[in-house]
Structure 1
Amino acid sequence: MQRERTTSLATAIVFATGVLWGFYWLPVRTLSGLGLPGAWGTLAITFAAALLLSPAAIFRRHAIARAGLPAFASVALGGAAFALYSIGLVYGRVAIVILLYFLTPVWSTLIGRYVMGWPTPPMRIAAIAVGLVGLVVMLGADGGVPMPKSTGEWMGLLAGILWSVATTGMRTKSGLRPREAAFVFAIGAAATALLLAPVLEPWPQPEGIRTLLSLLAVTLAGGGLWWGLSIAALMWATVRLEPARVGILLMAEVLVGAASAAVLAGEALQRLEIIGGALVLVAGILEIWPVRGLRQETESQRR
């Protein structure tokens, strides 16, 4: 019973994180408009997150050291994946970048089955198939080839692959507590953004920064809410769920991001894009429902 409650809470946290991150493009693009284009905005946000989380990390520095290199690397790789995703939102359409990132259930299931030897329920395969159909429908809505077409979209695809590897490592290797994991996550993201920032855009000039107070406010909000609080909660939940489930539950971000970008940024959704997004949600339902049914059946047999 306690395990079921923990799983339910972890599921709710991952879903809520997906909804919140559906609006993440707002602070990233706002920072770009305020004078921190490309990866520079992501660098500012992730550095702020690491700074805000550093007191807890310093206090628990021995626990971080004891966690070991595999645990540290897995969590830091997750941060690198989110950094690529964050940067991709600046260089591509929000809905498409998010969807390419959310091929994660495919990669997670393949890693789980062929690398880790985990079983793959038939309904999960069906859920992935429905999700992929939705992805193809959305990417091909303009009549073109359903594949990435910009730097941002390719970053979204790579981010999804890295996140699948990272979540598998987190589940099997990570013993870090949420706040410690969030700090390591932010460090991995900041390091990735620091490497990519000068490659993608020139160093921001002081005269290009419009309002310093607004820039600081957006940076702290992005670092504290998205990269601090929500990532700490996600780190707690991720190690308690299978990687494929984490990827599918986070798909709530797909529709939230697509809808918010359509309303607030004028990135209008076509009919096929809406249909594709609906299929992605159906995939999430297919992934969760059979597990619940199996548990109920098991409980009935015990009685």
Structure 2
Amino acid sequence: MYDARTILVATAIVFGTGAFWGFYWLPVRALTDLGLPGAWGTVAITFAATVVLSPVAFVNWRSYSQSSPVALLSVALGGAAFALYSVGFVYGRVAIIILLYFLTPIWSTLIGRYVMGWATPRLRVLAIAVGFAGLAVMLSANGEVPLPKGVGEWMALLAGLLWSISTTGIRAKSTLRPIEAAFIFAFGATIAALVLAPFLEAWPGRTLLEDLWQILGLAFVTGAIWWVLSIASLMWATVRLEPARVGILLMAEVLVGALSAAVLANEHLTFVEIIGGAMVLCAGILEVWPVRRTGSARTH
């Protein structure tokens, strides 16, 4: 168990990371405009992050050999989840992609209950029902079948599920230090993006030469800031908080992402989509509420 101050710091870090990632769609789409379509922009960003972190892997190779394979796989799977999420911004509207991803508290609760055997308070059962209802409302806003539309939305939904599996494994098994975990995270994301990229768009080839230095600069800055600094901080905080709480705190990204997309990309949600999205967010709040009450009870 961690003391109250450590949990408070971890909470602030996760919340700040969520807000910061609300702007992540900007460099992703900028790389697309520069000639890296589909998943290739994510490949560039995650590979740059892996390169930046490679000295860490070289110096601390014993830490990886001594770590649990489940822990390493869990961290790498988290990177793969973020890679799918990153690619989703290329093919879908920012707010919808973020909202679909942020069904993570629901997935975390289901995994915790049926895989890990953790207790499930009644309010969390209600949260699951509200979350799925919000998902159905949001996806049927135009009178269509309530299923994700297009590859971007499916990627966001799958990314949220994979992230929930990842955070559960990280919490249960990981002993890696944050910067070491960030390397595995970035490496897992790079592999996932590389596997995915050829199926979505052809390699742009020589057309990249015109803006090569601009592409490299943007990829390395984005990789260093979002995928190294913020992810290393997130890895430190994740092992100190319950997976469900991590999911709800990261929801700061929903508000920041939706507002930034509305202002900068003129992407607006319909009234029905807003209602469905609000239900998804309410589900997250309902889901984390018992955790806070339990923590309070233990304190006193």
Q: Matched residues in 1 for 2:129 and 2:219: separation? A: 38
Partner secondary structure for residue 3 of structure 2: helix
How far off is 1:208 after superposition? 4.6
In the aligned structure 1, how far is the partner of 2:219 from the partner of 2:68? 31
Distance change >3 Å, CA 165–CA 285, structure 1 → 2: closer
* Residue 75 of structure 2: aligned partner: 75
Alignment of 1:10-21 (within 5 A): 10-21=10-21
Displacement of 1:261 in angstroms is 1.4
The equivalent residue for 2:214 is 214
Q: Deviations over 1:208-260 (max 9, x none)?
A: 55423321222112101111111111111111111122122222222222221
- Structure 1 position 132 matched with structure 2 position 132: yes
Q: Which moved further from structure 2: 64-73 or 177-186?
A: 64-73
Secondary structure of the corresponding residue to residue 286 of structure 1: helix
Runs of 5+ in structure 2 lacking a partner? Answer: none
Deviation at 1:290, TM superposition (A): 4.1
Question: SS where residue 67 of structure 1 aligns?
Answer: coil
Q: CA RMSD in A?
A: 2.0
Distance 1:161 1:296, change over 3 A: closer
Which deviates more, 214-223 or 287-296? 287-296
Structure 1 window deviating more from structure 2 (19-28 vs 120-129): it is 120-129
One-letter amino acid of the structure 1 residue matched with residue 155 of structure 2: M
Quote the Cα distance in structure 1 between the aligned partners of 2:156 and 2:17.
18
1:79-125 Cα shifts (integer Å, max 9, x gaps): 11111111111112222222222222222111111111001122333
Alpha-carbon distance between aligned partners in 2 of 1:78 and 1:25, rounded to the nearest angstrom = 18
1:261 is matched with which residue? 261
Q: Determine the structure 2 residue equivalent to 1:7.
A: 7
Question: Do 1:34 and 1:210's aligned partners in 2 also have CA atoms closer than 8 Å?
Answer: no
User: How many Å separate the matches in 2 of 1:199 and 1:292?
Assistant: 43
How far does residue 289 in structure 1 lie from its aligned partner after superposition?
4.2
**CA contact 2:106–2:131 (8 Å) conserved in 1:** no
TM-score scaled by length of structure 1? 0.92
Distance 2:74 2:11 in 1: 21
Q: 3-state SS of the aligned residue for 1:90?
A: helix
Query: Identity over the aligned pairs, expressed in percent?
Result: 66
- Cα pair 1:34 1:209 within 8 Å, conserved: no
Deviates more, 1:290-299 or 1:102-111: 290-299
Quote the offset at 1:5 in angstroms. Answer: 1.5
1:236/1:299 CA distance change after superposition, 3 Å: closer
- In 2: Cα distance, 1:170 partner to 1:215 partner: 33
Cα distance per residue 1:162-186 (max 9 Å; x no partner): 1111111111111111000000000
Determine the C-alpha separation between the residues in 2 that align with 1:5 and 1:291.
17
Shift of 1:75: 0.6
Partner residue in 1 for 2:153:
153
Would the aligned equivalents of 1:28 and 1:86 in 2 still touch at CA under 8 Å? yes
The answer to whether the Cα contact below 8 Å between 2:106 and 2:127 also exists between their aligned partners in 1 is no
Change (3 A) 1:284 1:170: same
SS at match of 1:170: helix
- Structure 1: 5+ residue stretches without partners: none
